[in-house]
Amino acid sequence: MSPLQLKTPYFLIDEHKLLRNLEIAKYLKELSGVKLLLALKCFATWGVFDIIKPYLDGTTSSGPFEVKLGYETFGGETHAYSVGYSEDDVRDITDICDKFIFNSQSQLKTYRHMVAGKASLGLRLNPGVSYAGQDLADPARQFSRLGVHADKIDPEVFTSLNGVMFHMNCENKDVDAFVALLNVISDKFGNYFDALDWVSLGGGVFFTWPGYNIEKLASALKAFGMHYDLQLYLEPGEAIITQTTDLVVTIVDIVENDMKTAIVDSCTEAHRLDTLIYNEPAFIKESTENGKHTYVIGSCSCLAGDQFCVANFEEPLEVGQRLHILDSAGYTMVKLNWFNGLRMPSVYCQRTNGYIQLLNAFDYQDFKRSLSQWSVN
């Protein structure tokens, strides 16, 4: 099947590009001894996990259903973490996870007895420093609830802990900045590490970015792990699926109100939410930097400010033309919603042999069911 025969909107995951990222991940593991867990919060399209599994060690999660999904569809090591567990959550997942990481000392104290003997016990610590572009995504922002801050640690907790987790990076492409954070962690928390078996350094390290100095990252990780005699983990999401997937849309109308807007059959609020939340414009494959024809690529939702980007094109755009919205895998499919009752994008994977495999498709019944299954009468 040719991509032109597929109905838009759809996501197209390119296996070849995914394998490129995974080979880099494998190289990092080999050089450093670090274990890598796929962060399901970023990407959980389990239909392609058979491609990813041979390269990574397992999954990490941010809620109970992600734990179950990782266990069922990925295997390997299953790490459970949540900012807040209920007692039911703890009961549901203790038997299927390898590491159980609490966000606070109070949760650890309350539920430790339910986990002990079943999973390795962990606690998230907050180093108070971070590398994050936006305050909304900064784990070290003022009053952060994410992890235990250094001055609040009760050293007693380390007598029953097996490991700790830090997460303090967001799309960090600067290896020196990462190493500096690692040094802060050593200084602030190093005296606790002797009692531990493992430390997870979280996600947000963009080691698949072109030109990233993998060797430097690997040697810093290796030295850290050896110094404290720890198994180190990273929890990459975006680094694994970056630049692998297009959201393909069709222009359904062009309107002009001082500026030309091409309206496409998708929207950021439902299909690419982070474009809106973080106000970070998308990139369109067909655009060129100096093209003479400038358009707003506008969404078909009712939200006035819902647009993908402003882009330049060599030729005027036309109704019926397709556009490829680049780099649309991370934090997109996991956040899809039915706002406005728009058609939900299908999900495909283009295999290395060219074959296009359908992974997911949605229809009106999925929309209806998401709203109610039973009526009051």
Ligand X SMILES: Cc1ncc(COP(=O)(O)O)c(C=O)c1O
**What are the backbone angles phi and psi of residue 201, rounded to the nearest 5°?**
-100, 15
The least distance separating ligand X from the CB of residue 222, rounded to whole angstroms, comes to 20
The CA angle 222-227-228, to the nearest 5 degrees, is 105
User: Which residues, numbered 133-172, are part of the site for ligand X (CB under 6 A)?
Assistant: 167, 170
User: Annotated binding residues, as ranges?
Assistant: 238, 274
State which of residues 237, 275, 308, 328 lies at the interface with ligand X (CB under 6 A): 237
Rounded to an integer, what distance in angstroms lies between the CA atom of residue 190 and that of residue 224?
10
Q: At 360, give phi and psi (nearest 5°).
A: -160, 145
Minimum distance from residue 235 beta carbon to ligand X (Å): 4
| 99 binds ligand X per the rule CB under 6 A | no
341 CB-contact burial (10 Å; exposed 0-12 / middle 13-18 / buried 19+) = exposed
Among 15, 77, 235, 246, binds ligand X (CB under 6 A): 235
Q: Which is nearer to ligand X, 37 or 90 (CB)?
A: 37
Does position 40 interact with ligand X (CB under 6 A)? The reply is no
- Check residue 203 for interaction with ligand X (CB under 6 A): yes
Instruction: Determine, following the binding rule CB under 6 A, whether residue 42 of this chain makes contact with ligand X.
Output: yes
Tell me: does residue 236 bind ligand X (CB under 6 A): yes
Smallest gap, in angstroms, from Cβ of residue 241 to ligand X? Answer: 9
Q: Which residues are annotated as a binding site for substrate?
A: 238, 274
Considering only the stretches 18-26, 35-43, 225-233, 345-353, report the one whose residues sit in contact with ligand X under the rule CB under 6 A: 35-43
In whole angstroms, give the CA distance from residue 120 to residue 80: 10
Whether the CB-CB separation of 82 and 52 falls below 8 Å is answered with no
Task: Please choose, out of 113-121, 229-237, 258-266, 352-360, the segment that lies near ligand X by the rule CB under 6 A.
Answer: 229-237
Binder of ligand X out of 52, 56, 140, 239 (CB under 6 A): 239
| CA–CA gap between residue 186 and residue 262 (Å, rounded) | 52
Taking CB under 6 A as the criterion, the residue among 202, 225, 298, 345 binding ligand X is 202
In terms of CB distance, is 69 or 342 closer to ligand X? 69
**Does 204 engage in binding with ligand X (CB under 6 A)?**
yes
Instruction: Check if the beta carbon of residue 205 is closer than 8 Å to that of residue 217.
Output: yes
User: Nearest-CA neighbor of 347 among 47, 43, 12?
Assistant: 12
Residue 64 or 203 having the CB closest to ligand X: 203
Q: Which stretch binds ligand X (CB under 6 A): 151-159, 233-241, 289-297, 337-345?
A: 233-241
* Binding residues vs ligand X (CB under 6 A): 39, 41-42, 60, 167, 170, 202-204, 235-239
